[in-house]
Amino acid sequence: MSINHDTLAARLRLAYSQGPVPPLRDGLEPSDENSAYIVQNINTRFWEQEGRRIVGRKIGLTAKTVQAQLGVDIPDYGVLFGDMEIQNGGTLPVSKTIQPKVEAEVALILGRELNLSDPTPDDIADATDYAVAAIEIVDSRITDWKITYADTVADNGSSAYFVLGQEPRKLSNLDLYTCGMALEVNGEVRSVGDGAACLGHPLKAAAWLAKTLTSLGISLKAGDILLTGALGPMVSMTPGDHVQAVIGGLGAVSFTYQDDRRL
């Protein structure tokens, strides 16, 4: 494989404006985690230099079934930028997406910096200011979602946009293990799940992320948003759809997938 990391990173950036690209098999072995994160980091630095601001991280591949499909036994992560947030009840224009899907998640908002070398779920809880219901809009720059583990890692965890609910709750008042989730599209339930589906517990997923980042010399900061992973299966969207997620104890969060294309 002779394609270098910078070339792969540029290929993914170009896909945002020119459409999806074939899987990165010519430059990344399907399980090459280290090289995939190098590609992701190249683009993270590029976008920061372009003025984008990091506001947190997202955790992906928290479901054992999805890990099995990609032949891995660990989650992955991507970077959240401030311009990826859609206001609760707002709209996402179709023109800003490629092949999006939605999933419901628990979002944690940190109240203080977290840089422990081996944090526990209790450490995450202590550092968390509050939790809210969230929707993540995932998207892939890889044609037809034909991704390997390396593809999705390099592609910033197949991230796109996110929506945060407006009902902040302290963790002391929540049961994030058994909390139920229903994801509705146009009032029809399309996905259900619970906190246990997210790597066993959303706080366990967040602890994995914090430990992984600390090993790379990266600490999570006060105010950071952590999207802890899907509570149920991903759902595809059609232009005009209204999407709402309801999570037990955290309330509802929603947006509309607005068709802004010219006929």
Q: How far apart are CA 158 and CA 58, in angstroms?
A: 10
User: 16-20: which pairs have CB atoms within 8 A and are 24 or more residues apart?
Assistant: 16/98, 16/141, 19/98, 20/98, 20/99, 20/140, 20/141, 20/142, 20/143, 20/144
Parse the chain into domains and list their residue ranges: 5-258
The amino acid occupying position 198 is C
User: Taking 80 as the threshold, does the pLDDT of residue 2 lie above it?
Assistant: no
Q: Are 124 and 59 in contact (CB under 8 A)?
A: no
User: Taking 60 as the threshold, does the pLDDT of residue 246 lie above it?
Assistant: yes
User: Taking 60 as the threshold, does the pLDDT of residue 263 lie above it?
Assistant: no
Question: Tens of pLDDT along 70-90?
Answer: 777 789 999 999 999 999 999
User: Taking 90 as the threshold, does the pLDDT of residue 67 lie above it?
Assistant: no
What is the average per-residue pLDDT within 172-186?
A: 96
Residue-wise DSSP of 67-115: HHHHT-SS-EEEEEEGGGEE-TTEEEEGGG-SS-EEEEEEEEEESS-B-
Q: Are 78 and 45 in contact (CB under 8 A)?
A: no
Report the percent of the chain where pLDDT is more than 90. 90
Contacts of 95 (CB under 8 A, 6+ apart): 260, 261
Q: Which fold has domain 5-258?
A: Fumarylacetoacetate hydrolase; domain 2 (3.90.850)
Question: Tens of pLDDT along 94-141?
Answer: 999 999 999 999 999 999 999 899 999 999 999 999 999 999 999 999
What is the average per-residue pLDDT within 53-73?
A: 84
Count of CB atoms situated within 10 Å of the CB of 97: 16
Helix 33-49 and helix 5-18, axial crossing angle in degrees, nearest 10: 60
**What is residue 236's predicted lDDT score, i.e. its pLDDT?**
94
Q: Are 222 and 113 in contact (CB under 8 A)?
A: yes
**What is residue 73's predicted lDDT score, i.e. its pLDDT?**
79
Length of the chain: 263
What is the average per-residue pLDDT within 220-247?
A: 96
User: Taking 90 as the threshold, does the pLDDT of residue 178 lie above it?
Assistant: yes
Res. 69 pLDDT band, cuts 50 70 90: low
SS3 state at 11: helix
Q: Are 205 and 227 in contact (CB under 8 A)?
A: no
